Amino acid sequence: MTLGRRTVLASLLVALPAAGAILLGVERVRARDMAAALERVVRAHLTDLVRDACEADPQWFLAGPRPGRPTQAERALPDADVNLPRPSTEELPFEFFAYNEQFVPTSTAGPRFPDDFRQAMRSSPPSRTMRGPWESQAGTGFQIAQLTGWSPGRCAVLLYRMRPPPNRLIIRGLIFGGALLVCFAVAMAVAQPMASRISRLATAARAAAREEYANMLPVSGRDDVASLGAAFNEAAADIRRRIADAHDREEALRRHVDVTRDDVAAPMAELERRLGDIEAQRDLPPTAADGIRRAVRDAHQLRSRLQNLAAVARLRTVTDQSPRESIDLAALVTRLVDGRAALARAAGVTIEMPAPDRNVIVRADPALLEQAIGNVIDNAILYNRRGGRVQVELRGFEHGDRFSLRITDTGPGVSDEEFAGLTANQRFRGDESRTRRPGGRGLGLALAREVADRFGLQLDLRRPNTGGLEAELKVRDRV
């Protein structure tokens, strides 16, 4: 989850309880105002005028207009108490009722007096005023019972009730939604600057990592974020020193290997050539000829391993931004084939290379590409059988920079298990020399694959139906 999403989620988690608390506070204020308004009405009604009105007409002593209320003339008619209609029991937003000292309503519309109020008002000393909620049809309202002191009589107790305002759920939803929006906006306004600073710090840290920590992070303020940036800069400075030391060591190693290769590889190549010339003489005893052939192979393998070591050291310094040169691939392969004539004679293998049909230009590191292709040719010679053949074929294509370099041998081939191991080893790790047997194919092929991959090429291995092994170097397929 990104920092921006975390900030939004955290702000929402803070805003939800805050909005709930605001809604609860608003509800309490509204309830308090309702109770205060009802108490003011109660105090205003404790007058002789209200007492006279209640005792004169307790049946219709109700707040608000009640439908069907008879006139004074209708009440003066004979049997008016029997014939006249009774008040409606429908709830009104505000109403009050009269009760006698036994808490019996004096109007047929009066509800049952609350039991807890009755018990409190009958206690000793009695409670003159009782307050509390009541469940109306519109929700929880508020009610007050008041001992009037007008007893004995039909108006000893008055009960006042007020229903909650209409559309209460909608109002609550609007209050909660508005409070949530405001709280969320405030939380975001508080958290966003800090989140933005952290995000900028993370972006700068990633940029510094891509540039090997060459740039320091901008640090401002004295809070935890500034402390984090300062700690990163200290760590980056240490990493930069370590990277510089590592680069210096690698460069020193590469120079040492290059010097060693130049000092040893050239004499070894000359030794291999001279041994090959001696081996080519026809008057050598069989035992001497066999010893010279082994010496040619050993000299070539020793030189190849030294050159592979130099290639490994060179690979560590090659990046996508490293300069590349245009290489005549046909001339390079021809030089490699000619340089392995002595090795091929010593191994009893014939190496053939038809003339390329066209020039092929490849942009790469010449030393690395030469070593990669040389490793593949060496494998085809060394793991062949005496009397075998190695075919090196380079073909260029008309369109683009496409080409195909195939190196095929007629040796005994490899088993399914060995082939699976060779094809599974797709990337060079640097430890193949320890995990493969000395002189094995794994190191040379792994190095060749890595070099090909660095320069947009790919190396494929196949087992032809006729036996042996075929390696093809070509431009990497574009996905």
How high is the pLDDT of residue 233?
75
How high is the pLDDT of residue 254?
67
Q: Which two tokens stand for residue 220?
A: 């401002």
The predicted model gives 199-204 an average pLDDT of: 74
Spatial neighbors of 4 by CB under 8 A, at least 6 apart, are: 195, 199
Q: Which CATH number fits domain 318-479: 3.30.565.10, 1.20.1250.20, 3.30.1300.30, 3.90.1150.10?
A: 3.30.565.10
Of the ranges 60-69, 82-91, 366-375, 395-404, the best mean pLDDT one: 366-375
Q: What is the CATH number of domain 46-166?
A: 3.30.450.20
How high is the pLDDT of residue 237?
79
How high is the pLDDT of residue 256?
67
The predicted model gives 81-94 an average pLDDT of: 82
How high is the pLDDT of residue 251?
72
Residue range(s) occupied by CATH 1.20.58 in the chain: 239-316
How high is the pLDDT of residue 435?
39
Residue pair 359/396 in contact (Cβ under 8 Å)? The answer is: yes
Residue range(s) occupied by CATH 3.30.450.20 in the chain: 46-166
- pLDDT category at 426 given cuts 50, 70, 90 is low
Q: Determine the Cα–Cα distance for residues 371 and 303; give it in Å rounded to an integer.
A: 11
How high is the pLDDT of residue 400?
60
H or E element in which residue 340 lies? none
pTM here? 0.50
- pLDDT category at 327 given cuts 50, 70, 90 is very high
Q: Determine the Cα–Cα distance for residues 98 and 75; give it in Å rounded to an integer.
A: 20
The predicted model gives 446-453 an average pLDDT of: 90
Q: Determine the Cα–Cα distance for residues 2 and 195; give it in Å rounded to an integer.
A: 11
Residue range(s) occupied by CATH 3.30.565.10 in the chain: 318-479
Q: Determine the Cα–Cα distance for residues 427 and 153; give it in Å rounded to an integer.
A: 106
CA 244 to the chain's CA centroid? 32
Q: Determine the Cα–Cα distance for residues 219 and 234; give it in Å rounded to an integer.
A: 12
- pLDDT category at 432 given cuts 50, 70, 90 is very low
- Edge-first strand listing for the sheet containing 470-475: 350-352, 389-396, 403-409, 470-475, 457-462
Residue pair 157/150 in contact (Cβ under 8 Å)? The answer is: no
- pLDDT category at 439 given cuts 50, 70, 90 is very low
How high is the pLDDT of residue 471?
92
Residue 115 predicted with pLDDT over 70: yes
Residue 360 predicted with pLDDT over 50: yes
The predicted model gives 174-197 an average pLDDT of: 82
The predicted model gives 416-422 an average pLDDT of: 82
Q: Determine the Cα–Cα distance for residues 452 and 403; give it in Å rounded to an integer.
A: 13
How high is the pLDDT of residue 258?
67
Helix (H, G, I), strand (E, B), or coil: what is residue 436? coil
Q: How many residues does the chain have?
A: 479
- pLDDT category at 350 given cuts 50, 70, 90 is very high
More confident residue, 356 or 115: 115
Architecture of domain 239-316: Up-down Bundle (1.20)
